[in-house]
Amino acid sequence: MQRTHFAVTAATTVVLSVVLAGCGGGDRGGDTAAKGPVTVTYWTWDEPKTIQPVADKFNATHDDIKVKIVKQADNPGTAANLRNVVASGKGVPCLVKNFGQVPGLVGEGLLSDVTDGVEPYVKKGVFNDASLLGAQAGGRYYGVPIGYQPSFLVINRKVYDQYGVAVPKTWDELIEAGKKLKKHGVYVMNLAGEDPSTLENLVQQAGGSWFATEGDTWKVDFLSPESLKAADVIQRLVDNGLVANQTYMDRPALINYFDSGKMVSLPTQVWQLGNYELNYKKSLGDWEPVDLPQFADAPSFTAPAHGTALLVPKGCAHPKEAVEAAVWMNTTKEGIDASYQEDIKQYNWPGAIPDPSPWVDSAVPDKLFGARKGEARDVILKAVKGAKDTWIVGPNYTGVFAELQDQWAKVVTKKITLRQALEHMQKFTVDDLKSKNINVEG
Judgement on whether residues 235 and 261 belong to the same structural domain of the protein: yes
Quickly state the pLDDT bin for 266 (edges 50, 70, 90).
very high
Judgement on whether residues 284 and 315 belong to the same structural domain of the protein: no
Q: In what order do the strands lie in the sheet with 287-290?
A: 265-269, 151-156, 287-290
Judgement on whether residues 142 and 112 belong to the same structural domain of the protein: yes
Percent of the chain with pLDDT over 70: 92
Whether residue 32 has pLDDT greater than 70:
no
190-240 tens-digit pLDDT: 999 999 999 999 999 999 999 988 888 999 999 999 999 999 999 999 999
Helix (H) or strand (E) holding 225: helix 225-239
How far apart are alpha carbons 441 and 433 in whole angstroms? 10
Q: Which of 163, 192, 194 is closest to 176 using CA atoms? A: 163
Judgement on whether residues 358 and 371 belong to the same structural domain of the protein: no
Q: 223 burial class (0-12, 13-18, 19+ CB within 10 angstroms)?
A: middle
Quickly state the pLDDT bin for 2 (edges 50, 70, 90).
very low
> What pLDDT is stored for residue 26 in this prediction?
33
Classified as helix, coil or strand, 111 is strand
Judgement on whether residues 156 and 138 belong to the same structural domain of the protein: no
284-298 tens-digit pLDDT: 999 999 999 999 999
Domain with 178 in it: what CATH number? 3.40.190.10
Q: Which of 37, 51, 27 is closest to 329 using CA atoms? A: 51
> What pLDDT is stored for residue 221 in this prediction?
97
Residue 6 lies in a domain: no
How far apart are alpha carbons 283 and 355 in whole angstroms? 32
For the CA atoms of 108, 111, 112, 115, the dihedral, rounded to the nearest 10 degrees, stands at -100
Helix (H) or strand (E) holding 152: strand 151-156
Helix (H) or strand (E) holding 289: strand 287-290
pTM: 0.88
Provide the domain count of the chain: 2
Taking the CA of residue 285 as centre, how many other CA atoms within 13 Å lie in the half-sphere pointing to its CB?
A: 4
Whether residue 392 has pLDDT greater than 70:
yes
Is 414 within 8 Å of 245 (Cβ atoms)? Answer: no
Identify the domain boundary among 317, 346, 363: 363
Identify the domain boundary among 340, 363, 386: 363
> What pLDDT is stored for residue 129 in this prediction?
94
Judgement on whether residues 88 and 164 belong to the same structural domain of the protein: no
Judgement on whether residues 212 and 266 belong to the same structural domain of the protein: yes
Judgement on whether residues 288 and 187 belong to the same structural domain of the protein: yes
Residue 9 lies in a domain: no
Judgement on whether residues 218 and 327 belong to the same structural domain of the protein: no
> What pLDDT is stored for residue 6 in this prediction?
30
Residue 18 lies in a domain: no
Residue 231 lies in a domain: yes
Identify the domain boundary among 363, 385, 404: 363
Quickly state the pLDDT bin for 117 (edges 50, 70, 90).
very high
> What pLDDT is stored for residue 19 in this prediction?
32
> What pLDDT is stored for residue 16 in this prediction?
35
Rg (CA), the chain: 22
Mean pLDDT of the chain, nearest integer: 91
Judgement on whether residues 216 and 272 belong to the same structural domain of the protein: yes
Residue 15 lies in a domain: no
DSSP string covering 413-441: TTSS-HHHHHHHHHHHHHHHHHHTT--EE
Please state the rounded mean pLDDT for residues 312-316. Answer: 98
Domain that holds residue 274: 151-304+367-436
> What pLDDT is stored for residue 207 in this prediction?
95
Judgement on whether residues 213 and 79 belong to the same structural domain of the protein: no
For the CA atoms of 20, 122, 38, 336, the dihedral, rounded to the nearest 10 degrees, stands at 130
159-173 tens-digit pLDDT: 999 999 999 999 999
> What pLDDT is stored for residue 8 in this prediction?
35
Residue 339 lies in a domain: yes
Residue 16 lies in a domain: no
Range name among 2-11, 55-64, 274-283, 359-368 with the lowest pLDDT average:
2-11
121-160 tens-digit pLDDT: 999 999 999 999 999 988 899 999 999 999 999 999 999 9
> What pLDDT is stored for residue 83 in this prediction?
97
Classified as helix, coil or strand, 138 is coil
Judgement on whether residues 295 and 397 belong to the same structural domain of the protein: yes
